[in-house]
Amino acid sequence: MSAATKTTEGLYDCRDAFSKTLEALAEADERVVAVVNDSVGSSKLGGFKKRWPDRLVNVGIAEQNMVGVGAGLANGGRIPFVSCASCFLTGRALEQVKADVAYSNTNVKLCGQSPGIGYGELGPTHHSIEDLAWLRPLANLVTIVPSDPWETEQAVRFAAAHEGPVFIRVSRYPVPALEHRLDRIEPGKAEVMRAGTDVAILANGVMLHKALAAAEALAESGVSARVLNMAWMNPLDVEAIVDAASTGAVVTVEEASVRGGLGGAVAETLALHRPVPMEMLGFPGFVPTGTVDFLFDHFGLTANGIADAARKAISRKG
Amino acid sequence: MPLSTASAPVSGADRIDLVRARALSIRRSAFTMVHEAQLGHPGGDFSAADILATLYFGVMRYDPSEPRHPDRDRFIMSKGHCTGAFYSVLAQAGYFPEAQLKTYMQPLSMLNGHPNRNYLPGIETNTGPLGHGLPVAVGVAIAGKLAAKDYRTFVLTGDGELQEGSNWEAAMAAGHRKLNRLTVIVDRNRLQQGDRTEATNALDPLDDKWRAFGFHVEMIDGHDHVALLDVLGADPDSRDKPLCVIANTIKGKGVSFMEDNVSWHHGVPTDEQFALAMKELI
């Protein structure tokens, strides 16, 4: 885990991997710049700013301009990483993301920081559980939801090398470093984290390690659960989703609204190609106040909650 | 390959004549397109025609055979609905054949109602929703400054468009960063889609607003080619601020029955009106 720092024992804040990788890229390629909305601290870009003050473009609290400036910097030959809390990047500046970045097909890298309910007690204005649903229909916009520091580093490296728009969801919620079987992420491919035959659990972001824990618990009671890492929301690995249905039951888990995100994408795919009983875990609507862990527990986004959903999906098999 | 303005060999009075002739042909071309498509925004095409002709045939440095040359001057059409005039000037500047203008807004045409940089050369960013051009232009200008390049960035906005808050986010950033190679041109025709700007959500005193945001402001007659050439052609290094040119224009300029008439925002001509207009556009 070259680019990660531990927060607590064995747990990592993916923003560290993001900022360290970006600094490494910036050192190697002067085209790499950062664009922020006074979000230097929350994007962990203090080190970047210190090393390259001119290449850290802080437009102040002005997200529409921030995304437009990103598109303009790309026009001028730069590789801009536009970094800001995901709620404001995708909510406030959605039309700029659509027109200036996705539709214009510009070489802009959008980094949605602290997505989902990362801001816990601050409430739904600062939660970003809608971002995936808002971005998923935007053609050209490669969308990645990394699960741990390694995958975050890989996503940032991919983004810099890819000619075209990318959105990366960068989590602050502490996660363990997971075991990955590949040296590098495969664009558009779901990663099989665990083989299984009774049910398939499709998860991404900070939910992936919880899905793996659920699979472990299910195994103890004799249930064989496949776990897929669905980091790639766009392009979506349709083949892997259809194959997951061969288990006869599917569960999706995401730190996002259950409407329109990963669950929606998987449901659309299964309905078109191979309908099977399905359970969707996520947030049903605006989320009440609480710590992040309280809220995950409250909405069943825990190993136990995921295992329960898996058993329910299995019980619905015909 | 070094870049030069399309009109580099021309100077003085000849340049003024060239710009005047191009402005007229832009109007004729745009109105022909709107007439054939029975779609478009001819009022704004006409108010912007002299500005576009001045930029492309008197001021800007570009090479249509290398539309993404890193040192080109950039022009961003923030009032993206006025594609009749914009596509016409691009075609006349040599970015694509003028014959292609006949496909304007036809099914599957590259000439969409609003410009798309991936469909045609010479377009810097996809516009249409208002208030998008200036933020992108600010980013282009920042990139130029970072790389110490001497290209200029021009953006043409409508006046009603300035009711969009994103413009003022961008204006604040441009002033703060003293982007002296950035020029905002406001097509101040005083009409928006439904009514006069001042009756809808007043913009005046518009010059004071730009000054307060850190711009050097010039107010000129936006149909006066001499004034346009003079102000837009001035050396940007002679000032340490971005430039805002408030070009006072007349919507529908050039056709008597269209001038300053809000119904020609997206009005389209009958065959009879088209014939009458073309008689005036000579």
The reply to whether residue A72 touches residue B142, judged by beta carbons under 8 angstroms, is yes
A228 CA to chain B: closest CA distance, Å? 35
pLDDT value of position B7:
46
Evaluate whether residue B4 is within a structural domain: no
Contacts of A95 in chain B (CB under 8 A): 129, 132
Evaluate whether residue B209 is within a structural domain: yes
The mean pLDDT of chain A is 96
- Count the domains in chain B: 1
Alpha-carbon distance of A192 to A241, in angstroms, equals 11
Evaluate whether residue B2 is within a structural domain: no
pLDDT, tens only, B125-159: 999 999 999 999 999 999 999 999 999 999 999 99
- The confidence band for B3, taking pLDDT boundaries of 50, 70 and 90, is confident
Region A37-55: mean pLDDT is 95
Evaluate whether residue B1 is within a structural domain: no
Per-residue H/E/C for chain B: CCCEECCCCCCHHHHHHHHHHHHHHHHHHHHHHHHHHCCCCHHHHHHHHHHHHHHHHHHCEECCCCCCCCCCCEEEECCCCCHHHHHHHHHHHCCCCHHHHHHCCCCCCCCCCCCCCCCCCCCCCCCCCCCCHHHHHHHHHHHHHHCCCCCCEEEEEECHHHHCHHHHHHHHHHHHCCCCCEEEEEEECCECCCCEHHHHCCCCCHHHHHHHCCCEEEEEECCCHHHHHHHHCCCHHHCCCCEEEEEECCCCCCCCCCCCCHHHCCCCCCHHHHHHHHHHCC
B14 Cβ partners below 8 Å, 6+ apart? none
Boundaries of domain holding B249: 10-280
Beta bridge partner(s), residue A278: A250
The reply to whether residue B117 touches residue A54, judged by beta carbons under 8 angstroms, is no
Least CB–CB distance from B144: residue in A33, A67, A76: A76
Q: Does residue A170 have a pLDDT over 60?
A: yes
A294 CA to chain B: closest CA distance, Å? 38
Establish if A74 touches chain B: CB-CB under 8 angstroms.
yes
Q: Does residue A5 have a pLDDT over 70?
A: no
Interface test with A, best of B81, B112, B126, B130 (most A CBs within 10 A): B126
Instruction: Kindly identify which residue of chain B lies nearest to residue A60, measuring between CA atoms.
Output: B173
pLDDT, tens only, B163-217: 999 999 999 999 999 999 999 999 999 999 999 999 999 999 999 999 999 999 9
The reply to whether residue B172 touches residue A78, judged by beta carbons under 8 angstroms, is no
A33 CA to chain B: closest CA distance, Å? 10
A139 CA to chain B: closest CA distance, Å? 13
The mean pLDDT of chain B is 96
Region B30-50: mean pLDDT is 98
pLDDT value of position A6:
54
Q: What is the CATH number of the domain that holds B196?
A: 3.40.50.970
Least CB–CB distance from A73: residue in B117, B142, B170: B142
Evaluate whether residue B5 is within a structural domain: no
Q: Does residue B109 have a pLDDT over 70?
A: yes
pLDDT value of position A1:
38
Tell me the domains of chain A and their CATH numbers.
14-170 (3.40.50.970), 191-315 (3.40.50.920)
Instruction: Kindly identify which residue of chain A lies nearest to residue B144, measuring between CA atoms.
Output: A76
Q: Does residue A28 have a pLDDT over 80?
A: yes
B97 CA to chain A: closest CA distance, Å? 23
pLDDT value of position B11:
66
Evaluate whether residue B207 is within a structural domain: yes
